[in-house]
């Protein structure tokens, strides 16, 4: 197999079958040694973080399969920390699809003049471009369509699925007494243009609280999967 890319938290290989193999690493994003899922830099290495991300991702992707939500997931190997997926093209140069249930983080910093920190948001959807240098800029529907990042139909689908998938995850967490504050998802499309959920669904992509306590991403598999 051929190595295509060495990512921040995963290495990416092309298999002879044409499928893609993602090898989860123990590197997490953060700054100054503190794990921060919203950060753009790899800040530290935490033993078991790759394993935790893969187990969460497998759990949710299998759940989405049952629910008829298309994903790139094929199979996974927990021991090897690998996940086999369908090849997919990202939107633009990478698009983050965010669903927010509480006004925290970058959303609160942006709109602090007109919202209280922690205010309930009813599954508000936002899109940001993956562009570290430009600070992952927010992009609206008009710009996404006019810059050719998504067609009008794709935009509607991305918006709808971001909300629906996040609602599923929120409900799973709620059953465990956890509250999802916000989450970022990524979508891609196959050679025929079919849109599907890609990448991972793990503690590194979501902000979760138990009552007033922030739950560390690495504690999530223990609370959700067992």
In the complex, which residues of this chain contact a copy of itself (CB under 8 A)?
A: 92-93, 107, 109-115, 121-122, 124-127, 129, 131, 133-134, 137-143, 146-149
**Three-class SS state of 159:** helix
Nearer to a copy of itself, 29 or 141 (CB): 141
Rounded-to-5 percentages of helix, strand, coil across the chain? 30, 35, 35
- Smallest distance, Å, CB 121 to a copy of itself? 6
Q: Kind and range of the H or E element at 188?
A: strand 179-189
Nearer to a copy of itself, 42 or 138 (CB): 138
- Smallest distance, Å, CB 84 to a copy of itself? 30
- Smallest distance, Å, CB 195 to a copy of itself? 19
**Three-class SS state of 187:** strand
Nearer to a copy of itself, 112 or 176 (CB): 112
Nearer to a copy of itself, 56 or 144 (CB): 144
Rounded to whole angstroms, the Cα distance separating 30 from 62 reads: 28
- Smallest distance, Å, CB 109 to a copy of itself? 7
DSSP 60-86: HHHHHHHTT--BSEEEEETTTTEEEE-
Beta bridge partners of 195: 189
């Amino acid at each position: 197999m051929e190595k295509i890319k060495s990512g921040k938290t995963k290495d990416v290989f092309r298999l002879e079958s044409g499928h893609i193999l993602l090898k989860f690493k123990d590197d997490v994003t953060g700054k100054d040694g503190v794990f921060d899922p919203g950060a753009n830099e790899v800040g530290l290495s935490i033993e078991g973080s790759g394993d935790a991300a893969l187990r969460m991702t497998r759990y949710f992707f299998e759940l989405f399969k049952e629910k008829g939500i298309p994903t790139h997931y094929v199979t996974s190997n927990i021991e090897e920390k690998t996940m086999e997926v369908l090849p997919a093209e990202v939107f633009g140069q990478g698009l983050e699809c965010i669903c927010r249930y509480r006004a925290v983080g970058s959303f609160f910093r942006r709109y602090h003049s007109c919202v209280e920190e922690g205010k309930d948001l009813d599954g508000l959807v936002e899109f940001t471009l993956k562009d570290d240098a430009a600070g992952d800029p927010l992009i609206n529907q008009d710009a996404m369509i006019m810059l050719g990042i998504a067609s009008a139909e794709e935009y509607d689908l991305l918006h709808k699925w971001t909300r629906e998938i996040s609602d599923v995850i929120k409900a799973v967490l709620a059953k465990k007494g956890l509250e999802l504050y916000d989450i970022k998802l990524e979508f891609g499309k196959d050679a025929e243009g079919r849109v599907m959920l890609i990448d991972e669904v793990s503690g590194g992509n979501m902000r979760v609280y138990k009552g007033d306590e922030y739950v560390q991403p690495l504690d999530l598999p223990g609370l959700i999967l067992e």
